Structure 1
């Protein structure tokens, strides 16, 4: 296939026509044909939530956030614990901490209005090149290059690029930049992302109904399903630990707030040992601890985790050396990150 057959004009025209008919109905999106200006707050919030998370998982979180905090200024004024509690279960908790930092900068330094250029957006806390480009294109109609995993896959197949990821990223970015139109860049960006999510999928792409099928070099070569290639990942190590669930006779739970920095930063959780290749036993206080049958298994980005769960019932006047007791009417399992909630569920099942 000659490169001249893949041009910004014919690709954008095909993608926008396809998008006008097939755009996904998403709560943060202005549908094609609707002249309502996009709300930069909703665009930003959705893009942060969607990082390394599926649309299906994000939808309900987005609706809860925007119902409780309908503007960036509302979010900026929210207590940290409330926001972290609403985020619980969505994972990658540094995003929630950066969400609050960014909201407060926008509210305090920009009068509650997001800046409208890539460079100024990039200067905000927690906004990286991808989010700045997506906001510039979708919220402000600027022809910035939006490159997520879906777009990378479409570009790799369209040009039949065999260089494996992540080494291929600069070339894929150049391809995507060359095809980004000045007309409707936000719709175009969302069109390519939708194409990757619904048709040009990682496995078994539906090439027969793809609007770019006649231009796709990988389809013509018969190797679309094998692209993009990826450098093999190293096996994840397994770490172990012990977690302690203690409840006083008045129903209060012994809890801790994890440090702001690091894994699960700022989240509510149970006291426990460090997570290492060899588990270390370190009870938070003296008690008659009982080992629960079973274990908690959870996988983080860089390692697998196996937790042993210990439980104890304490007198009503117990006072911890560290952490704090949370009254039963203030305890919500939904405020716990997933790994902590798994431990709670295990304890409740016994």
Structure 2
């Protein structure tokens, strides 16, 4: 049995990872989460107390991080400020959490010789043209567009440096856009779903031609656990499920799934510096580790996600009014 420290384990991807570990292993999990607006205690309900411990705290707290890392076999680092719009409004928390927080964890795992896996994003690579035949791969040069993606790029480079210079037993993964249960309603897919539930017309940035490579959160987390168990130390793995869809198509699919006219949405001002297209080449993950997504059909995964939000209104309802007020103030 292993004991894992999961940072950001009350957030969207992190909480789903904790549930995945509980269902697919005998590991014990310690969650460290600052419980900012993105953390939700309800996302961790129902976990077995014999294998699960929650600690409220900041990854920038060096003393706390050192104490927790000293008692585990591996760290899986999800904790991050991760919303592009928020990073444009105030970059400082992104620099503090994503850079200094990663540094604090790296120093702790170096001191205690603990296995470390770092969760990152495909946004560190910038974007692709709509007609570009290429996809992102492990050696694609970094070209971040926003304070968020720049801070994540910097954190990735810290991990690579600590692995090379200090022998930290680290792996990295850069994943495409996640969707699924327990995602904060400020994010694109749950915002549109919950708007339709509330009788509000969905909102589409610009013309909606921006393409994202969607992956269900359960498939992402299955890949992370596999990399943690079998990944080559020092290597980066890209995680993607060949789920490219433009934003306009995604909104129209949501509306159709929910019994509404496909054109029942409004265009709003585009995000500054909005990346045009992301696309992941996950060949290394598939060929070296044998990973395959369960949700190969985006439509099926999206339908399951719609049903989750319909069935779990008590989870997302407390967040909704504040999110819509913020977007309204921005004209979005």
Range into which the TM-score falls when normalised by the shorter chain: under 0.3
Larger radius of gyration between Structure 1 and Structure 2: 1
Greater strand proportion: 2
- TM (norm. structure 2) is 0.25
